[in-house]
Chains A and B, each alone.
Chain A
């Protein structure tokens, strides 16, 4: 267990701002094309940060950099640093498996494994041997409860996850991510494929989960960003233009580009 996790359990709700995710002068390029420029941002533990910006602004690239999902893209290069719970993401000594266990990811389209509901959630804890085998059912129940899905699936844990509705599948993917006991949960447009009711459930879930996890959500839906997040960062053309309290960003942003974007006067 990392020091941060220990702190988290020992002293929930301590007032000292603890930084869970930090980028320092981070730049990223795909070959000759630079997509992120000098991003510096600090996200406090147990908070929700929304990242907004027009398509192609670099918000997803930033998100994917946090758990190094861009590594396999040919010609990918970076400068600067990203730290998760004090661990340097790009440091050669950083174990990628450990990193991805600490940084959970939820994608735009729900992507459950073609396995049972139970096995989807048990997958991480089994693979990473996080708990003794006999405690796995307990962990699965806990994660499904945290993802507000338990009551809907407890009687059919042995059925295929693909039989669930879209919204349920997305919550299952969240439960699966929680199974690894992550520090940070990255969500890339988690509700864009969901109907308003399923969306509302995910939003409520985000509200619950921030008691324990640090959440970063990329969204095109500004009302959603406004509803769920504590802090909002506005990306444009690969740069972090403004990062401030969500209430500030949506009532009186300081930067003209932010104002233009959120009021629909962009371009």
Chain B
């Protein structure tokens, strides 16, 4: 292929990265607004998240199409190939993050209709960690920084631990006061959705390591590989 053709191709690859970054910004914002809807009992914000999901969905379709076209037309190799395959997977993961934000917004709407319940600080903390994981992992993706991607994966343990605490705390509330069951169940679902967002950020982190280093660390393949 001509140098000219290659330059064009490399520009297109940069555009894929930029679109993914924009998409991740949308997904992070959706999580943030959904949590605000919950904390502020703000139905408008909940509706905003639910309506905004179609934008994230459309971005997934667009990025996937772009990657498929580049795969077919440019037959990329090595790190270019890994970039496009990772981009398809990451856009899929971000689309799922958007869905979880919608789930959280829907839970917020239901919780608003029940009597007020104080969301646990653990949930606020989970939301903060999960969003940071997302934003840091996308940054690692763009910079090609696998060390930082691995570090993001490790943070998932913190989200999982918070999720378990939330479960225990809410269980105690429900046992003490059956009237809190409706709201507590709602919060439990929120916690569950945030935990899944942490998992998706971890998946993206694994994709970044694959992209940069060319090896899979999924399902602890790394540990098996070293044995």
Contact = CB atoms under 8 A, between A and B. Distances in A.
Interface in B65-81: 75-81
Interface in A217-267: 222-223, 226, 249-253, 258-259, 262-265
Interface residues of A, number: 14
B58 to A, nearest CB: 30
Does more than half of chain A's interface fall in helix, strand or loop, or is it mixed? helix
Contacts of A249: 78
B6 A259 contact: no
Contacts of A251: 77-78, 81-82, 214
Given A251-B214, A252-B82, A264-B1, A226 B77 contact: yes
Contacts of B10: 264-265
Nearest to A252: B214
B215 interface: yes
B6 A262 contact: no
Most buried by A among B213, B214, B215: B214
B78 A252 contact: yes
B9 interface: yes
Interface string B200-226: 000000000000011100000000000
Nearest to A250: B77
Interface residues of B, number: 16
B75 A223 contact: yes
Interface string B152-183: 00000000000000000000000000000000
Contact of B9 (A222, A259, A264): A264
Contacts of A223: 75
Nearest to A249: B78
A51 to B, nearest CB: 16
Nearest to A254: B214
Given A223-B75, A251-B214, A252-B215, A265 B81 contact: no
Interface of B: 1, 3, 6, 9-10, 75-82, 213-215
19 contacts: A223-B75, A249-B78, A250-B77, A250-B78, A251-B78, A251-B81, A251-B82, A252-B79, A252-B214, A252-B215, A253-B214, A258-B78, A259-B78, A262-B78, A263-B77, A263-B78, A263-B79, A264-B3, A264-B6
